[in-house]
A and B are shown apart, each in its own frame.
Chain A
Amino acid sequence: MIRIENVSKSFALHNQGGAVIEVMTGATLAVAPGECVALTGNSGAGKSTLMRMIYGNYLTASGSIRIGDIDVASAAPREILELRRTTLGYVSQFLRVVPRVATLEVVAEPLLAVGTDREAALARARDLLTRLNIPETLWGLSPTTFSGGEQQRVNIARGFAHTYPAMLLDEPTASLDATNRDTVLTLIEEAKGRCAAIIGIFHDAPARDRVADREVDVSAYTPARAA
């Protein structure tokens, strides 16, 4: 489902004397449907950078990143937008939404965007919010006013609303209590059960051990910091 081949990345800092920083080279990785791969490596090894490249958020210098039929490294913006809408989900660590939109709408939105019937989308959103212990009294409010933990759970509900065939998870269990952490891990297992290919970053080792089938240490792709 996800095939990453010989991917490299560098940042050219034009406003700092044109310094070029090589951050990744030769990264190669494949994830099959129903498989969960955990990225490991020290802070700064490039886990998040790789995730962002897969999502199309960072440009890829060379190599290919295939998700289904699309090579993110060379796709047109329109194709990437379409990929993100239908195929590739991303659960980041932080919720960023527009003010004034109700939580229930925020969670249901990815479903509405792929043409799901409104009632069915809202039903799914209610179900996820219930499972993640967001009190019903908050559903009509904008999540911008919520606590950090609540925002994180709303973010996860939103990320899991649509059944994406490929998913990127960036620290999905960070700052969650035991109950909610368990719910999130169950959601990940359910996603694997329906054959989603998943790449995740988990600092939480027991969580990683529970859901990840394999680990890939991205430090292997970090160029030696000679410069």
Chain B
Amino acid sequence: MTETMHSEVAHRADERAPAPLLSVRDIRKTYGSYVGCTDVSFDLYPGEVMGIVGESGSGKSTLLNCLAGHLAPDRGEVLFDTRAEGPRDTVTMSEPERRMLSRTDWAFVHQNPRDGLRMGVSAGGNVGERLMAVGARNYGAIRESATDWLGRVEIADTRIDDRPSAFSGGMQQRLQIARNLVTGPRLVFMDEPTGGLDVSVQARLLDLMRGLVREMGLSAIIVTHDLAVVRLLAHRLMVMKSGHVVEAGLTDQVLDDPQHAYTQLLVSSVLQV
């Protein structure tokens, strides 16, 4: 049973907002005649973490990329509750606006840290980039923020001037998270954030992410094929197969009382430890 966990990650009272942070309506993306994902709709509220699970090719990464503005869906709306103007459809907003969102209110954590880091730039520079991108021009202040964030992701401040290429996989992933969260985003997209890490490193990363999600009141969408990851991090779960959402609900309910044949197969396929 997982109930202890769920009350722990539930929202704080002061974050109880009536409006969803993200409203996804009827998203469809095809590649020629091949359906990447279709008929996807859901609401994500402030402070909520949603997991998307499914096997390779189920369309979960396509969906994530549509939501994060990396891919243009063929159809549908992605309404994000912007700070200034309230809900805006990020599919139809101008590219400068979308890119501004993606370096301020959004964060994207890639599976492979090399896709999300500048490998030729020091750890401090990686963390500072988003600050400089939104206009920070005081070296001392940028450096202080970078030091603070390296500390929060448990990277020693003595490593601030080292390049990520000198870091282990787990450290690179933590650095990527720091780099993404430094501007205080409200929505984090994560694509297999623990993929490719060994188990003990994964546990540390998950614990860190849970803490940050809670402290900062972040909303997050996590794509993974690892059910243990969603059980630990996600309040809600969506199960995808062949581009369709086959089941959605509370994470523990979907995992403990799966309704769809595919979810039952998925849950029963996990090795018990």
Q: Interface of A with B (CB < 8 Å)?
A: 11-15, 52, 55-59, 77-78, 80-82, 84-85, 89-90, 92-101, 109-110, 112-115, 155, 158-159, 170
Q: Which residues of B contact A13 (CB under 8 A)?
A: 264
Q: Interface of B with A (CB < 8 Å)?
A: 1-8, 10-14, 16, 45, 48, 203-204, 206-207, 210, 232, 235-236, 249-250, 252-253, 256-257, 259-261, 264-265, 268
When the two chains form their complex, are residues A77 and B16 in contact, meaning their CB atoms are under 8 A apart?
no
When the two chains form their complex, are residues B4 and A77 in contact, meaning their CB atoms are under 8 A apart?
no
Nearest Cβ in chain B — how far from A129, in angstroms? 16
22 A-B residue pairs with Cβ-Cβ distance under 8 Å, sorted by A, are: A14-B264, A52-B256, A52-B257, A57-B3, A57-B250, A57-B257, A58-B256, A59-B249, A59-B259, A77-B235, A78-B236, A81-B235, A82-B10, A90-B7, A94-B1, A95-B4, A96-B5, A100-B204, A112-B12, A113-B10, A113-B11, A170-B1
When the two chains form their complex, are residues B5 and A97 in contact, meaning their CB atoms are under 8 A apart?
yes
When the two chains form their complex, are residues B1 and A57 in contact, meaning their CB atoms are under 8 A apart?
yes
When the two chains form their complex, are residues B4 and A155 in contact, meaning their CB atoms are under 8 A apart?
yes
Bound-state CA distance A58–B1 (Å) is 11
Q: Which residues of B contact A170 (CB under 8 A)?
A: 1
When the two chains form their complex, are residues A96 and B2 in contact, meaning their CB atoms are under 8 A apart?
yes
Residue of A78, A84, A101 ringed by the most chain B CB atoms within 10 A: A78
Closest to A75 in B: B250
Q: Which residues of A contact B264 (CB under 8 A)?
A: 13-15
When the two chains form their complex, are residues A77 and B207 in contact, meaning their CB atoms are under 8 A apart?
no
Given contacts A98-B207, A98-B210, A109-B8, contact A81 B250 (CB under 8 A): yes
When the two chains form their complex, are residues B45 and A78 in contact, meaning their CB atoms are under 8 A apart?
yes
When the two chains form their complex, are residues B10 and A96 in contact, meaning their CB atoms are under 8 A apart?
no
Nearest Cβ in chain A — how far from B269, in angstroms? 10
When the two chains form their complex, are residues A85 and B7 in contact, meaning their CB atoms are under 8 A apart?
yes
Q: Which residues of B contact A97 (CB under 8 A)?
A: 4-5, 8
Contact partner of B259 (CB less than 8 A), chosen from A12, A93, A109, A159, is A12
Closest to A48 in B: B1
Bound-state CA distance A77–B10 (Å) is 11
When the two chains form their complex, are residues A59 and B5 in contact, meaning their CB atoms are under 8 A apart?
no
Q: Which residues of B contact A82 (CB under 8 A)?
A: 10-11, 16
Nearest Cβ in chain B — how far from A87, in angstroms? 11
Nearest Cβ in chain B — how far from A201, in angstroms? 13
Q: Which residues of A contact B13 (CB under 8 A)?
A: 114-115
Contact partner of B260 (CB less than 8 A), chosen from A14, A77, A110, is A14
Closest to B248 in A: A77
Q: Which residues of A contact B48 (CB under 8 A)?
A: 78, 81
Q: Which residues of B contact A15 (CB under 8 A)?
A: 261, 264-265, 268
Q: Which residues of B contact A81 (CB under 8 A)?
A: 6, 10-11, 48, 235, 250
When the two chains form their complex, are residues A92 and B11 in contact, meaning their CB atoms are under 8 A apart?
no
Q: Which residues of B contact A114 (CB under 8 A)?
A: 13
When the two chains form their complex, are residues A57 and B14 in contact, meaning their CB atoms are under 8 A apart?
no
Closest to B1 in A: A92
Bound-state CA distance A95–B167 (Å) is 35
Bound-state CA distance A82–B12 (Å) is 9
